[in-house]
Structure 1
């Protein structure tokens, strides 16, 4: 591949790398960081002392941890509460998937059932039978369900929370683990209220009544009122599902946060931005590690490998749901040709080149157009700049692609337009004009 920069590395770049590393993680919000503050402090200390191998070792271990630490989520609730649909929603799969939790099927087993995330293999959601089903006291129930294996519990109900479920939450709290109350099927409650002709429909009042019923159950059980998340498994972006995801991400330990964020469905632009921030941190850590190695003379400068770049780009497209398989599913759900969706995004064509254009010239063109809003992250080591600018470009592009597709989906839901009319509408918008062009 053509050289984009000189292969000369300077020791004084270490100072730039140290200051860039410190500045980057200082500006990253605490609830968004995917490595612990202890790890950040350790890397900074090694850099300050000029201990390149020490800093590299800490970064390498941190990257290994965030990609391999398992996350186990327990979901419990009585039959009919919407547990299976909720688990499928968290996993980003529909009921038609072979690996989906079966919806509307009477449980014949009293054992827990594991459901792996289809892409994030470290995430497992456990469907636990309702505590009332087993007729156990909370402590015995938790022991039988292997309490210690879970990072947190989600208690699901489609009506009101029972005394057994509230007592279970108390016991979970005593054992120093987090629990969250999720009230499902609120869309059905609202639909029912709309059909009631004896009184005018008030959406917010109805939601408040649902919440009040749950709150009263806490009071009757002499329990402090917990946050209650009202959700619809069919319409994730509505109601409290985005708030629930924000809360879970914030409460997780830093080293487990990355995998959980990547598993989150792209239901809002904020969720997509959070995913972008998380992946950006991993790219930046990899870039730091490469930059550190580039200051060691025996390592030298490595050449970019277009095949590896293609693998990385494909990986990002999968993570952000803009890969070919995801586009086919979206096209089927939206009843539009998949090629129409492809015309709206840019990432599938990032590594395409014209005959008269060398690959090096193409990459240089991308570098010239790359938004440097990453805060001057790539300040140290020429291999650092040369390899990782492209990964940041890939990441920024797939992020914007995911937002474009989300907007298109939301427009379709909002206006219920046929595809030609919708495409005409989006083309009148300057932003969409640029994306489609």
Structure 2
């Protein structure tokens, strides 16, 4: 009897998923919670009427303008088709500060406000949805996740502040002195932590990346733009309490200009990434490597790095090194067949790697990128983790091509990698690669 070939890891994972019962994910639960809060907020507001409609309109417009400024930029313009980078580093500071300020607003021009938690949620939802319309129209599902995050964060801040302030308990307990400022500071810290947890959970649900490194990236971003957004939101609320709505343009115009400046910085960064991607294609155009090889290694390597818990800066180094890992082959007189340098003698592999690192240093890339390129031919016990990942994923791409399109090519490549765990490939990297492949690998085709 002829044995049937075993299915590839991705096929086996797909069959297990088809047999397993459908369970609600954390992301679906968060979206449902945001939808429920939005429906309750709109229902309550429509039933009881809008309190201080002018104030509600002003803050709703601010949220909408901030979100429109966020979505006006094309994310990852010109970037290679790698996995999505976490976007939790607040890309819409004006909208976030406006939503937080409305949640913490207790007075306007010396007069008490009565909008409460429900109207806060309704105004933030309305503004965020208006700002997300362009992206929803283009089919970007992440826009709705962003709206859900904004609603839940603003709702949390309003729930902690509005009932206490409107009932008078807060002022009776702490007064208007330094204890009141300390209370606001504590509330801002809790709100920032809530936002970081929500951002990591939603990104985990959308991408499947491990939660711990995603949350770590979000928490690392808090001392930067996160603290600025929280402080600005609190200052806007205090300023409106004294000066009324005239305080909004005074504080929000500089924040909008800062947001536009950040977009310029992001455009420069995207241009740099495009330059790195173009350099990666030099070996393909010269015939030294197959079309799309460098971009496939970068995409799969980034997925493996995320699986192993690398942070954002480490993933950027890994991506750039994976894109340029073969650039040293340009020093060869004759191309290696199919660019498979893994079959060359160790001395030749090391020479190509060192030449590649020297080229990378001339591009102005970070020194860490050149180190990864230079050390990809070393024994894995002497390599940094990023170099181990590039080496293993590069070998996987080369080995899987040997299958000639056979469905078992992925399984063949993984088995060969496991045989090489004694010296060439770290076992943890190989198993992380297997888990990524079992989930379907990476999506999108490399250019070329």
Structure (1 or 2) with the greater helix fraction: 2
TM-score, normalised relative to structure 2: 0.29
Structure (1 or 2) with the greater strand fraction: 1
| Higher radius of gyration, 1 or 2 | 2
TM-score, normalised relative to structure 1: 0.30
